Amino acid sequence: MAKKPTPKWKKFEQLVHKVQSALAPDSEVILDDRIIGSITGVERQIDISVKKAIGQFNVLIVVDCKDYKNPVDVKDVEEFIGLVEDVKANKGALVSAKGFTEAAKTRATNSGINLYRLVDAENKDWKSYVTIPMVCDFRSLGEGNFIVKSSSIKILQEISKQNPKLVPIYDQEYRQIGTPLLLLWSKWNKREISDDPGTYTSINLSTEPTFAKSIDGHYEQIKIEGKFDVIQKLFFGELPLTKVSGFRDEISGHLVLSGNSEIITDIINVIEVENTWPQNTVA
């Protein structure tokens, strides 16, 4: 005989039990518990109970799970308050798949009942879209200006007719090592230039002797200094979580996660950040 599939509401309870067990690893977390009511004298079904002995005290927390299509209303909260009182629980908590109405939140808050929404970024039945606030800090070099110094008037006159960013630069062996622009970018990529936002002047682009080649083929020693801006762009947005499992406190809005919860964020799309996130530029 084929085994009946587990009802969706039962899977919801099992998932809540799994999350609660992770949150209280040193407690006894029981799924589908039975406790005799002290007021009614009858056996009460408890979706999840959390029990822990603290010194001479036995602490009882009862959790009720609501896998409804709509937010849980005040009537369900009041029924649960009766259950909490009947079994003399120290604390009661309702966990909903779709949240709670404002009336339900007010009634629960006034009665000391905690309200949570199940958060799971992977489960297809109760998949949650969860994000965390994120600031992306982009630093870049401005266009930059370059000053070439030399004792040779002739080489300076020749260089003045060229784009100073693109003048070929040579080392002591007269091997071309780049241009002023490339030397600047090389120092930037090697983190030899501060990335603090602001304007920088008289930055020597090479600690080794450098040379420029004249039209007639002679090499003359030069010194290159750069002036440039470091530009900071701050982008503010929300980064989706692709893996997270816990509860969202419906009153405070805070996430409740276990200490060993694995949280994985989505990949940061730089183009999307620059095109869609609000920005503040500092230079």
**Residue 254 confidence (pLDDT) above 80:** yes
Please give the span between the terminal C-alpha atoms of the chain, in angstroms, as a whole number.
Answer: 73
How far apart (Å, rounded) are the C-alpha atoms in residues 263 and 227? 43
How far apart (Å, rounded) are the C-alpha atoms in residues 107 and 105? 6
Report pLDDT digits (tens) over 34-91.
Answer: 999 999 999 999 999 999 999 988 999 999 999 999 999 999 999 999 999 999 999 9
Instruction: Return the higher-pLDDT residue of 59 and 121.
Output: 59
Give the confidence band of 282 by pLDDT, cuts at 50, 70, 90: low
Report pLDDT digits (tens) over 163-220.
Answer: 988 999 999 999 999 999 999 999 899 988 889 999 998 888 888 899 999 999 999 9
How far apart (Å, rounded) are the C-alpha atoms in residues 130 and 245? 10
**Residue 231 confidence (pLDDT) above 60:** yes
- CATH 3.40.1350.10 for domain 8-130, yes or no, is yes
Output the pLDDT for position 114: 96
Give the confidence band of 2 by pLDDT, cuts at 50, 70, 90: low
DSSP per residue, the chain: -PPPPPPHHHHHHHHHHHHHHHH-TTSEEEEEEEEE-TTT-SEEEEEEEEEEEETTEEEEEEEEEE--SS-B-HHHHHHHHHHHHHTT-SEEEEEESS-B-HHHHHHHHHTT-EEEEEEESS-SSSB---EEEEEEEEEEE---EEEEE-S-HHHHHHHHTS-GGG--EE-TT--EEE-HHHHHHHHHHTT-S--SSEEEEEEES-SS-EEEE-TTS-EEEEEEEEEEEEEEEEEEEEEEEEE-EEEEETTT--EE--TT---EEPPP-HHHHHHHS-EEEE-
- What is the distance of C-alpha 4 from the center of its chain? 41
- Other CB atoms within a 10 A radius of the CB of residue 138 amount to 14
Residues 30, 89 contacting (CB under 8 angstroms): no
**Residue 222 confidence (pLDDT) above 60:** yes
Q: Which residues pair with 61 in a beta bridge?
A: 50, 91
**Residue 132 confidence (pLDDT) above 90:** no
Report pLDDT digits (tens) over 14-23.
Answer: 999 999 999 9
Of residues 233, 231, 177, the one with CA closest to residue 200: 231
* Cβ contacts of 178 within 8 Å, gap of 6 or more: 169, 186
Q: Which residues pair with 232 in a beta bridge?
A: 139, 282
How far apart (Å, rounded) are the C-alpha atoms in residues 266 and 48? 32
Report pLDDT digits (tens) over 262-277.
Answer: 777 888 888 999 999 9
Least confident of 24-33, 108-117, 174-183, 240-249: 240-249
How far apart (Å, rounded) are the C-alpha atoms in residues 236 and 249? 24
Output the pLDDT for position 1: 55
Domain residue ranges in the chain = 8-130, 137-233
